[in-house]
Chains A and B, each alone.
Chain A
Amino acid sequence: MGLKDVLPGSGPSATSGGIFGAGSPTFLTSKVDWIINWGRRNSLWPMPFGTACCAIEMMASAASNYDLARFGMERMSFSPRQADVLICAGRVPYKLAPVLRRIWDQMPQPKWCISMGACASSGGVFDVYSMVQGIDTIIPVDVYIPGCPPRPEGLIYGLMMIQEKIRQESLTKHFEHRAEDPALVALPRASDLEVVGLTGPFGNSTQQEQLTGGVAVRAESPSDDLLS
């Protein structure tokens, strides 16, 4: 059972005609979708996972000059259990990665994620041993906001993109879209190959093998054969 079994248009009566059947988005479901999405996108409660400079811009967006309250995001929920959208603002080192993952897992569905700033999206300036090269290796991200830090207008535009994304959601497609396998909790979201692809050194990044006379030590870990 569940919502999708009782919604018209998705159950066994899908093939019958009229407003209650004939294909998945029907008149009634689309109206229900419209109301639910309207409610969700206009009362998003952000979970501010602010770490560094982007967090200050996020606070500035919430302050009176840029005012997130007019989007319904007045209540910054610091408890993930009551939040809708996780705004990861700032750089995330590997020490903080399990905390971020746990907070994401604690958020109930429906939930969205905004990666605010260059550091959260891709590691930013910090292509170093301690920094996660983009939180999309750990949690699924819906909207990336570039900038270092992005202006409050940038954050607001990103939130509006989330609102647009919500506007286009549909309850009937919702469950497959949002399903998360509990067995995959606390594992990296991206597979090893994807992580390697996402975090490979750029052509012009500092080439660490050329060191000051020291030996370029690179211990082979069991998964390193993917690199070769």
Chain B
Amino acid sequence: MTDEKKSGLDAIDEGPTASDAATPTGGGTAGDPADHASVQGLMAQFSDAVMRHRVNAGDQHVVWIDAARSHEMLTWLRDDPDQLYDMMSDVTGLDYGSGRPVEVVYQMYSTTHKHILRLRCELPLDALEIDSVCDLWKSANWLEREVYDLFGVTFKGHPDLRRILMPDDYAEGHPLRKDFPLRGRFSRAEQTRRALNQEVERYYLAEDLDTGLVPQEAPTAEIRPFEDAGGDL
């Protein structure tokens, strides 16, 4: 629903306006899977779980996958010898507002094959849950905590799912959702009062330190020697 602009400057005051498109395609052009080996592999391997494939911004391949099978597909992407996505660059959330599903976006990179891929999983608003990939990539630990904090998406199997950027007892909701007002839900006086009533020494007790953040070894993947570029070390 597009809001009517009252005057030029009011347009700046508003947040982003949703387009009128009934079924947004996700942008860009319809992708040809043959252009990207991983997309081809995904479609061959998990044909029923790949919903859509587009090429955005010229050359970026984006695949929408079924959130229920995300862990299985991401495991395959990490371990299959032609894919070997060993680096999870980014995990983030995306909320369009207006009742559209919240998406979790994975940005991945392979240091051996040097290709990137973006995966998006749509989550219905009444079931904001998805499997955590912390067991596959340790970098997802804090990234998923942030998505939980700012969007309210629960990651099943996450070792330590608690708020990371907001205070632990933040009661106003999940800030980056579109229905969350920019200045917060409480008045400034209430926010100030709650802020000053925080216990500064939270997470200072030994029991709190055992909140699952046990440093773990990375899974015993075979250590591939890095490619010698020919120069000196």
Contacts and interface: CB of A to CB of B under 8 A. Distances in A.
Contact of B192 (A94, A95, A216): A94
B97 A196 contact: no
Interface in A197-228: 198-199, 201, 204-219, 221-224, 226-227
Interface string B9-49: 11001111110000000000000000000000000000000
A195 interface: yes
A135 to B, nearest CB: 11
A214 B167 CA distance: 25
A215 B179 contact: yes
A47 B181 CA distance: 35
Chain A interface secondary structure, helix, strand, loop or mixed?
Answer: loop
A133 interface: yes
A187 interface: yes
B32 to A, nearest CB: 33
B90 to A, nearest CB: 22
Contacts of B189: 188, 192, 195-196, 223, 226
Contacts of B181: 129, 208-209, 211, 216-218
Contacts of A188: 189, 192-193, 196
A216 B116 CA distance: 38
B228 interface: no
B192 A97 contact: yes
Interface string B185-226: 111111111111110100000000000000000000000000
Interface stretch (A54-62, A82-90, A98-106): A98-106
B183 A127 contact: yes
B33 to A, nearest CB: 33
A206 B198 contact: no
Contact of A212 (B17, B167, B185): B17
Nearest to A192: B189
Contact of A204 (B3, B9, B190, B197): B9
Interface in B159-175: 166-167, 172, 175
A200 to B, nearest CB: 8
A98 B18 CA distance: 39
B71 interface: no
B185 A217 contact: yes
A137 interface: yes
Given A95-B167, A204-B9, A218-B185, A212 B193 contact: no
B182 interface: yes
B97 A211 contact: yes
A119 interface: no
Interface string B92-112: 000001100000000000000
Contact of B196 (A97, A212, A215, A218): A97
A186 interface: yes
Contacts of A28: none
B233 interface: no
Closest 9 CB pairs of A and B: A129-B184, A214-B179, A94-B195, A208-B181, A199-B188, A192-B189, A97-B195, A213-B98, A221-B190
Interface of B: 1, 3, 9-10, 13-18, 97-98, 166-167, 172, 175, 178-198, 200
Interface of A: 94-95, 97-99, 101-102, 127-130, 132-133, 137-138, 186-188, 190, 192, 195-196, 198-199, 201, 204-219, 221-224, 226-227
